[in-house]
């Protein structure tokens, strides 16, 4: 495993900004209802000695924050380089960011195993955090030991990968192995340099080896390559008994199944994963802009036209990303087109738009097209040249050149969630009763805007990708779905507990109510529709069936076998559904 990161133990200690607390400085917290017990001073001291400086006393980065720190808290990469850095700061009435008692800045599987064994031995609540992008607060807990994986930055490209234990005659595959702290941007850079592509997430700063994969994970091109979990070939994990194991479809296939979409941190800790790589695509088209309707009736007409158009034109392996349904009667595009001739991208959209273009008094039709070699997609400089305003660079001193995040993801940095919810929309409904779906979409849009995320509904998925997906724990509703509808509301740069920067609770309730109205309107039409476990409501009802559908029983049986003492438990995860 090559180390590409710039982390050294010394740098980490400087970053924490404090000398390591000695065991005597550790405040022994009272036992909380959900937590285990707290180890004694001697136990902490022994762990500290074993880890040689990698046992930290973390604190939330905004605790007593100065103006300079508040500015840094707008940079997602800076946040995740703090041991207790979190993208989201809480959820109205749900969870609030909190620091663990101690944190292990893990540099290896052995460090993770030391933490697992310690937590198990002392019945201590264990939490794991990688890139810290969770919406649901599953990456923090009071009175806990945190395994912080950010220092594990190794990446290795394989020309011929063979899963351990594979029978003789198994064909080797091209693949990439990444350690637990690696983010998608770094994986894409390594893959592009090797002329390959790996199906990960759209957001550059989301972790490649953490919640994304464990929850299934979708990227812009998932209709072509499948979910993130579908590309998982092998995982090195630490199981609840503290052992380091290699898991794949030949070695403990049940646990491997659970790791592919069975939910965040519920079965084992990922130390590294190996992902299938594909030949790099050649061409990327991007459609932005949209259509403004002049009044409600025109907008309702436009919505139905889009829903009728979608199954035959966009629900296929070439298309990804989203369509936005806004309350101001504006339809927004953020669509990707993969490996289609530029003229065909334009003409496909024109099939939808021409009738509206012909009515300029009722519709303002303004799509924008950008085309580029696919290899430029992770190149900040190319975006700045072609489409200014799409990316923000990491301007920290010493940040790797070219590191960036999408401007569209800025709104989720420092987010205190008022509400967030999602559901899969069946493609059959669009084909068989587009008028009813259009009514529901129009009525829902009166409350608040929402996105129709087409790469998170896989009914138009490529056949070979579907074969891989069928071996995962992904909710089968996704295979029938045109898209995942997401509606959310957040207050940005709000930090519970920081005077002057607290969230506005009254405003939060009003906005949360809008989100709930949107989803309630859609659920009237699709009462049984499932939801994506990484991007769903904290207050989800029927959380097991809604997230995993028919896979639930199998996942629960695997959980009982591999983690009988329920060491790995997160909100609405397999281990907490009945608690």
Tell me which residues touch ligand FAD (CB under 6 A): 87, 127-135, 138-139, 149, 180, 201-203, 206-207, 209-212, 214-215, 217-219, 264-265, 269-270, 409, 412, 534-535, 570
Looking at the Cβ atoms of 214 and 577, the one nearer to ligand FAD is 214
Looking at the Cβ atoms of 212 and 538, the one nearer to ligand FAD is 212
Closest approach of ligand FAD to the CB of residue 535, in Å: 6
Reference 129, options 154, 97, 156, 157; nearest CA is 97
Closest approach of ligand FAD to the CB of residue 436, in Å: 29
Looking at the Cβ atoms of 363 and 420, the one nearer to ligand FAD is 420
Looking at the Cβ atoms of 201 and 317, the one nearer to ligand FAD is 201
Distance CA 4, CA 157 (A): 12
Mapped onto helix, strand or coil, the DSSP state of residue 501 is: coil
Closest approach of ligand FAD to the CB of residue 205, in Å: 7
Buried b (16+ CB within 10 A) or exposed e, 403-435: bbbeeebeebbbbbbbbbbbbbbbbebbbeebe
Closest approach of ligand FAD to the CB of residue 364, in Å: 30
Q: Which helix (H) or strand (E) holds 244?
A: strand 244-248
Closest approach of ligand FAD to the CB of residue 173, in Å: 23
Strand partners, 55: 104
Looking at the Cβ atoms of 115 and 219, the one nearer to ligand FAD is 219
Looking at the Cβ atoms of 48 and 134, the one nearer to ligand FAD is 134
Q: What are 157's two structure tokens? A: 């490209």
Looking at the Cβ atoms of 137 and 290, the one nearer to ligand FAD is 137
Distance CA 92, CA 366 (A): 37
Closest approach of ligand FAD to the CB of residue 116, in Å: 10
DSSP 472: S
> What count of other Cβ atoms lies within 10 Å of the Cβ of residue 50?
13
> What count of other Cβ atoms lies within 10 Å of the Cβ of residue 94?
16
Reference 298, options 364, 353, 363, 354; nearest CA is 363
Task: Assign 3-class secondary structure to 419-435.
Answer: EEEEEEEEHHHHHHCHH
Closest approach of ligand FAD to the CB of residue 221, in Å: 11
Buried b (16+ CB within 10 A) or exposed e, 246-266: bbbbeebeebbbbbbbbbbbb
Looking at the Cβ atoms of 216 and 459, the one nearer to ligand FAD is 216
DSSP 374: G
Looking at the Cβ atoms of 149 and 174, the one nearer to ligand FAD is 149
Question: DSSP per residue over 85-130, as a string?
Answer: --SEEEETTS-B----SEEEE--SHHHHHHHHHHHHHTT-EEEEES
Closest approach of ligand FAD to the CB of residue 578, in Å: 19
For residue 493, the Cα-to-chain-centroid distance in whole angstroms is 20
Closest approach of ligand FAD to the CB of residue 111, in Å: 12
Burial class (CB in 10 A: 0-12, 13-18, 19+), 438: buried
């Amino acid at each position: 495993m090559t180390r590409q990161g710039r982390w050294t133990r010394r740098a980490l200690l400087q970053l924490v900004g404090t000398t390591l607390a000695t065991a005597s400085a550790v405040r022994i917290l009272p036992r909380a209802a959900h937590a285990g017990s707290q180890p004694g001073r001697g136990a902490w001291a022994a762990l500290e000695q074993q880890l040689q400086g990698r046992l930290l006393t973390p604190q939330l980065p905004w605790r007593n924050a100065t103006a300079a720190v508040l500015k840094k808290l707008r940079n997602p990469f800076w946040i995740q380089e703090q041991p207790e850095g979190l993208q989201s700061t809480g959820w109205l009435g749900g969870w609030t960011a909190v620091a663990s008692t101690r944190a292990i800045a893990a540099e290896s599987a052995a460090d993770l195993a030391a933490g697992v064994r310690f937590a198990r031995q002392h019945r201590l609540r264990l939490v794991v955090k990688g890139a810290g992008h969770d919406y649901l607060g599953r990456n923090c807990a009071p009175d806990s030991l945190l395994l912080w994986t950010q220092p594990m930055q190794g990446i290795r490209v394989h020309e011929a990968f063979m899963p351990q234990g594979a029978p003789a005659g198994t064909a080797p595959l091209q693949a990439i192995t990444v350690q637990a702290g690696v983010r998608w941007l770094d994986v894409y850079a390594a893959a592009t340099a090797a002329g390959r592509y790996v199906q990960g997430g759209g957001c550059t700063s989301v972790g490649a080896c953490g919640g994304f994969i464990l929850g299934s994970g979708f990227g812009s091109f998932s209709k072509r390559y499948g979910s993130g979990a579908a590309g998982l070939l092998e995982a090195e994990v630490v199981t609840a008994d503290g052992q380091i194991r290699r898991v794949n479809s030949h070695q403990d296939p049940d646990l491997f199944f659970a790791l592919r979409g069975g939910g965040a941190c519920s079965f084992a800790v990922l130390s590294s994963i190996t992902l299938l790589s594909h030949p790099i695509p050649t061409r990327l088209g991007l459609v932005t802009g949209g259509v403004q309707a002049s009044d409600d009736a025109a907008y309702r007409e436009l919505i139905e036209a889009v829903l009728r158009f979608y199954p035959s034109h966009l629900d296929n392996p070439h298309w990804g990303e989203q369509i936005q349904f806004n309350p101001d009667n504006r339809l927004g595009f953020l669509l990707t087109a993969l490996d289609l001739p530029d003229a065909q991208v334009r003409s496909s959209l024109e099939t939808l738009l021409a009738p509206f273009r012909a009515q300029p008094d009722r519709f303002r039709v303004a799509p924008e097209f950008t085309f580029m070699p696919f290899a430029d997609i992770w190149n900040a400089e190319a975006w700045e040249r072609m489409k200014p305003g799409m990316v923000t660079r990491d301007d920290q001193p010493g940040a790797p050149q070219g590191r960036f995040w999408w401007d569209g993801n800025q709104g989720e940095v420092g987010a205190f969630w008022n509400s967030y919810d999602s559901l899969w929309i069946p493609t059959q409904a669009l084909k068989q009763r587009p008028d009813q779906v259009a009514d529901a979409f129009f009525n829902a849009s009166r409350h608040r805007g929402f996105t129709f995320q087409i790469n998170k509904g896989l009914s138009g998925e490529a056949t070979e990708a579907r074969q891989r997906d069928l071996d995962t724990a992904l909710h089968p509703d996704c295979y029938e779905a045109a898209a995942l509808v997401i509606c959310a509301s957040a207050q940005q740069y709000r930090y519970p507990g920081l005077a002057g920067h607290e969230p506005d609770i009254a405003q939060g309730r009003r906005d949360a109510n809008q989100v709930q109205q949107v989803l309630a309107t859609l659920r009237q039409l699709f009462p049984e529709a499932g939801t994506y476990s990484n991007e769903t409501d904290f207050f989800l009802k029927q959380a097991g069936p809604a997230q995993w559908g028919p896979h639930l029983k199998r996942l629960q049986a695997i959980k009982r076998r591999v983690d009988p003492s329920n060491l790995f438990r997160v909100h609405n995860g397999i281990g907490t559904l009945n608690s």
